[in-house]
Structure formats: C-alpha cells, structure tokens
Amino acid sequence: MRRTPVARAPWGRALPRPTRSRRTVEVAADPEVVTAVLAAAPAGAEPRWYRDAVPLRFRAVLDGWVSQVLGPPAGAAPSARPDGPRERLREATADDAFLAAGDRAGFWEVDDSATTATPPGHRLVLRAVVHAPGEVLLRAVVAGVAHGPGAGPRTRVTLDVELHPRGLLGALYLAADLPAREVVVEGVAHALVADLRRAGLTPTPPPAAGR
C-alpha cells in the first residue's frame, strides 16, 4: 500500500528559545508587495492575520473572561502606559493603508511599524494588551532575499512571538507557556499564509529555516 506524502507547511520552523518562538515564510514577490498584505490596517470583516488567527481569537475570548474578574489589563487605556498616552493611540480602520505606531488592532497595540532600508523591507512590532506576567510581543520582519541573475524577486517574512517575563511569576510562567506559544506562532503563520494567498501570492518555506 503506497503512502500519500504529507504536504509540507508553507513556512519554516526554528527551534524555540525560552522567550521566543519563530516561523519564516518566503514569497516570490517584492518586499513592498508583501508589506501591503502584512501591515494592512483592519478593513471591516476582511480577515487579518494579526487579529483573526485561531489562537489569537481564543486568547481574546479568554482574556475577556479574565477581565470580567480582574478588570482591564494594564495598558488597556492610554493613561495606563508608563510613558503616557501616545498621540496616535486609536483603533486602526479601513481608512488607513497600513498600521502605524500607536494604532490598536484587536488586542494589539502597534509599538513600531517602519520601512527598513538594509535589507529593504518592513518592520512591524505589536504589543499585546492582555493579562500576562510579562510583555507579549509579536514581531514581523519583511526583508528582500538576495537572488541570482535572472531569478525573480523573493521576500522573507520572519514571525516571532515573544514573552518577556516579569518577576518570579513571569519566570515560572515562561516555562509553562512555551508549548502554548508554539501553537500561537503556528496559527499566526497559517493565518498570514492565508492572507498572502488571498492576495494572489504563493508562500513557500525557506530553504533552511532560521535558528
């Protein structure tokens, strides 16, 4: 009996680190084209990888339940930030082309969203406004990949989900959180690939996943 080969996920996996879980995706397109999908602001019910990935939806519901008991998480209101409110702090909408620093999207606040020159691409850093014993970040880096003569453009997207623990509780939580963090980054990569495909792009795993 012949076995049907298992389809390979269109993203690369790296060994998780204590505070970071990583996935990488490559796309046969210019960085600007990939950025237009990755950093697109919310548009009504249209799916967005940073908001609609299944693990993120689950976490949003769970945090909503916790908030009913403990109140809103630190950072849920602008005045709760130690550095004070940001001028742009507001809900991102379909009127915006891209997410910008200070925007709110789902339970994320955009800490950074900027074009990079070397390598050409884009950097997006989202901070979760949720109940957690530490800081939860989602980083996405879009970077052009060097290619030989005659080869078309290629872009690599690196996704990192990070937990930076706070205090003894955070240190204990860090070890227990690793399996869940791997599930989250896997779900986020799956949602990003779905968004890229809806935009007519074809994501593939990199030749060798970053470590």
User: Which pLDDT does position 125 carry in this prediction?
Assistant: 96
Q: What is the extent of the structural domain holding 91? A: 20-204
Q: Is residue 105 part of a domain?
A: yes
Stretch (H or E) spanning 91: strand 90-91
Q: Is residue 60 part of a domain?
A: yes
Is residue 109 within 8 Å of 130, Cβ to Cβ? no
Q: Is residue 12 part of a domain?
A: no
The model's pTM is 0.81
Q: Is residue 8 part of a domain?
A: no
User: Which pLDDT does position 48 carry in this prediction?
Assistant: 92
Q: Is residue 4 part of a domain?
A: no
User: Which pLDDT does position 110 carry in this prediction?
Assistant: 93
What contacts 28, CB < 8 A, 6 or more positions away? 152, 153, 154, 201, 202, 204
Distance CA(185)–CA(126), nearest Å, equals 13
Q: Is the link from the previous residue into 72 a cis peptide, with omega within 30 of 0?
A: no
User: What is the mean pLDDT for each group of 10 consecutive residues in the chain (211 residues)?
Assistant: 54 81 93 94 84 90 78 55 40 66 89 86 93 90 81 89 86 82 94 94 73 44
How many domains are there within the chain?
Answer: 1
User: Which pLDDT does position 82 carry in this prediction?
Assistant: 36
Tens-place pLDDT, residues 119-166: 789 999 999 998 888 899 999 999 998 776 667 888 999 999 999 888
Distance CA(162)–CA(177), nearest Å, equals 10
